[in-house]
A and B are shown apart, each in its own frame.
Chain A
Amino acid sequence: LAKTTQPISMDSYEGQEVNITCSHNNIATNDYITWYQQFPSQGPRFIIQGYKTKVTNEVASLFIPADRKSSTLSLPRVSLSDTAVYYCLVAGGFKTIFGAGTRLFVKA
């Protein structure tokens, strides 16, 4: 199982773009990269998923370089409500391992 490494915490201000990078050096060929958001006392919420290159949806973009050994979640124009823990997962098969996640603090 690929282990993921993310920064423990990040600070930002409202309106800024936030980029959170995750390293996953041992990613397998069939693995997808998935990002979740978690607020206190709530279940993880799916943000975005990709395999390679760039994926964009209504809330975020995901950049994956050709070697797929890392990925970057980009949150455009964050607001106070984006304060949460963000998890990068590399999942394949039946077992999913969460890393420690990145605690994002958005300040006014």
Chain B
Amino acid sequence: EPEVTQTPSHQVTQMGQEVILRCVPISNHLYFYWYRQILGQKVEFLVSFYNNEISEKSEIFDDQFSVERPDGSNFTLKIRSTKLEDSAMYFCASYSGGPQETQYFGPGTRLLVL
């Protein structure tokens, strides 16, 4: 069964450093998403991406964040200058766009900012 994959599974970084989280969505999907989940809290929407541009973003997704689909398979989330409060699980999801389809989530990247 096709699945969304994410790399790395864990990343530790120093405050102020840039990180890039990578996702490979399901191959025939057209819509891509990033979410984050701070430990013990609910899943929070960050951004959605369709047709090579951002469709929607939350207030969390400020100028420190960017997304890119550099090739036909990868979808990346970049945090330019990490802060301690960026420590969280980051989930990528993809969706085919079909009316009775849904988003499928990756296993997540655990980011720890020291």
Contact = CB atoms under 8 A, between A and B. Distances in A.
Interface residues of A, number: 23
Main secondary structure of the interface of B (DSSP, over half): strand
B56 A95 contact: yes
A95 B50 CA distance: 12
A93 to B, nearest CB: 7
B43 A44 contact: yes
Interface stretch (A9-17, A35-43, A62-70, A72-80): A35-43
Contacts of A96: 33, 45, 48, 103
Given A43-B91, A44-B91, A45-B105, A93 B44 contact: no
B108 A95 contact: no
A44 B89 CA distance: 12
A94 B55 contact: yes
Which of the listed residues B43, B89, B106, B110 has the most CB atoms from chain A within 10 Å of its own CB? B43
Interface of B: 4, 31, 33, 35, 42-45, 48, 50, 55-56, 58, 89, 91, 93, 99-100, 102-108, 110
